[in-house]
């Protein structure tokens, strides 16, 4: 092998194909999806998300919110569940499913904040760790 070279003896696996299928299966069970995003921080994404969730819930709709803001998750606080923790259940197949937190309006919430042991510390996760956290939802 040449100096500084790389030798690959087997073809790389396609990462996450099985996980992607599981995510697609979960998402296919949700009839309507609304995504609120922006490349800029501080523009009110969380405020709009919480307001829209509450308005839809008050109109009798089933609502779930996935807060994937790694650097400042605020949805639990805005929806009144900041002191709560996610639940989990293990199926007969050994697969773990997250049980969302539900607020007084019946809005089901999953948030990165619920995965943090110390909610006041900044999150310094890299890409692969962030992806794994998202796949848990």
CB atoms under 10 Å from CB of 66, counted, come to: 16
Question: If you search the block for the tokens 């310094």, which residue do you land on?
Answer: 124
What does pTM read for this prediction? Answer: 0.75
H/E stretch holding 108: strand 108-111
- And the tokens for 62? 């089933």
Flag whether pLDDT at 87 surpasses 60. yes
Cα separation values, 3 from 6, 7, 21, 56, Å: 9, 11, 40, 62
Query: What residue ranges define each of the domains in the chain, with the CATH number in brackets?
Result: 43-136 (3.40.50.300)
- Whether the per-residue pLDDT at 3 is higher than 70: the answer is no
Lowest pLDDT segment from 7-16, 53-62, 77-86: 7-16
């Amino acid at each position: 092998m040449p100096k500084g070279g790389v030798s690959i003896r087997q073809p790389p696996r396609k990462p996450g194909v099985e996980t992607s299928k599981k995510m697609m299966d979960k998402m296919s069970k949700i009839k309507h999806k609304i995504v609120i995003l922006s490349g800029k921080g501080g523009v009110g994404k969380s405020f709009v998300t919480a307001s829209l969730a509450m308005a839809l819930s008050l109109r009798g709709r089933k609502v779930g919110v996935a807060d994937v803001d790694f650097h400042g998750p605020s949805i639990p606080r805005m929806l009144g569940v900041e002191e709560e923790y996610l639940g989990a259940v293990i199926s007969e197949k050994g697969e773990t499913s997250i049980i969302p937190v539900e607020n007084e309006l019946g809005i089901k919430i999953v948030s990165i904040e619920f995965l943090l042991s110390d909610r006041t510390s900044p999150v310094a996760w890299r890409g692969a760790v962030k992806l794994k956290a998202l796949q848990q939802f």
